[in-house]
Amino acid sequence: MILLAAIDWHSVLFLFFALVACGFAVAVAATANVVRMAFYLTLSLGATAGLFFLAGSEFVGAMQLMIYVGGTLVLLIFGVMLTAQAKFVSMQTSAGEWVLGGAVGAALLYTLLSAALSVDDWRTPRANRGEVALVEARTSTPIGLALSGVRVDKLNETSEQLRKGMSGYFLPFVIVSMHLLVVLIGAGYMARTKRAGSGLALQAAIPAAAPRDRKRSFFVAVGLVKGLVFNLLLAAACFWLLASPIPVEGDGVPTNAWLKSLGESLAAYPGWLLPTLGGLFIANALLIAVVWLWQRWGVVGLVIVPIVQALVLSNAGCTSTCAGIFLAVMLVPVAATILLLLSGRPSAWSQME
Amino acid sequence: MNPFTTPITVSHYLAVGAVLFVTGVVCMATKRNALGVLMGIELVLNGANLNFVAFGSKFLRETTLGLDGELIALFVIVLAAAEAAVALAIALNFYNNHATIDVDHADELKG
* pLDDT tens track for B50-102: 999 999 888 888 777 778 889 999 999 999 999 999 999 988 888 888 888 88
List of chain B residues whose C-beta atoms are within 8 Å of the C-beta of residue A197: none
Query: Kindly report the CA angle at A28 between A25 and A30, in degrees rounded to 5?
Result: 110
Q: In sequence order, which ranges of chain A are alpha helices (DSSP H)? A: 9-30, 34-54, 58-63, 73-82, 86-89, 95-116, 120-123, 134-137, 140-147, 160-163, 170-191, 218-243, 257-268, 273-292, 297-315, 320-342, 348-351
Short-list B3, B12, B61, B53, CA closest to A117 = B12
Q: From the list B36, B85, B98, which residue is nearest A34 (CB)? A: B36
Asked whether the CA dihedral A137, A138, A141, A144 is positive or negative, the reply is: positive
Residue in B with minimal Cα distance to A65: B77
Nearest chain B CA: its distance from A43 CA (Å):
12
For A46, the 3-state DSSP assignment is helix
| Model ipTM value | 0.93
A285 vs A262: CA distance, rounded Å: 24
Predicted confidence (pLDDT) at residue A205 exceeds the cutoff of 50: no
> Which chain A residues are within 8 Å of B53, Cβ to Cβ?
51-52, 55, 57, 60
Rounded distance between C-alpha atoms, residue A182 and residue A185, angstroms: 5
Residue A65 has pLDDT above 90, yes or no: yes
Phi, psi of B102, rounded to the nearest 5 degrees: -80, 120
Q: What is the pLDDT of residues A5-29, one digit of tens each?
A: 778 888 899 999 999 999 999 999 9
Is the N-terminal amide bond of A346 cis, ω within 30° of 0? yes
Confidence of residue A320 (pLDDT cuts 50, 70, 90): confident
Q: Do A83 and B91 touch (CB under 8 A)?
A: yes
* CB spacing of B53 vs A79 below 8 angstroms: no
Candidates A73, A123, A129; nearest CB to B11: A123
Under 8 Å between Cβ of B91 and B103: no
Asked if B102 and B52 touch (Cβ cutoff 8 Å), the reply is: no
Model confidence pLDDT, tens digit, residues A154-178: 777 777 776 765 567 888 899 999 9
Of A311, A41, A74, A245, give the one whose Cα is nearest residue B47: A41
> What is the Cα gyration radius of chain A?
30
pLDDT category at A213 given cuts 50, 70, 90 is low
pLDDT band at A254 (very low <50, low <70, confident <90, very high): confident
Q: What is the pLDDT of residue A136?
A: 65
Q: What distance in Å separates the CA atoms of residue B69 and residue A55, rounded to the nearest whole number?
A: 11
Give the global pTM.
Answer: 0.68
Q: CA torsion, points A318, A319, A321, A325, in degrees to nearest 10?
A: -10
> Cα(first)–Cα(last) distance of chain A, in Å?
56
DSSP conformation letters of chain B: --TTTSPP-HHHHHHHHHHHHHHHHHHHHH--BHHHHHHHHHHHHHHHHHHHHHHH-TTT-SS--THHHHHHHHHHHHHHHHHHHHHHHHHHHHHHHHS--BGGG--TT--
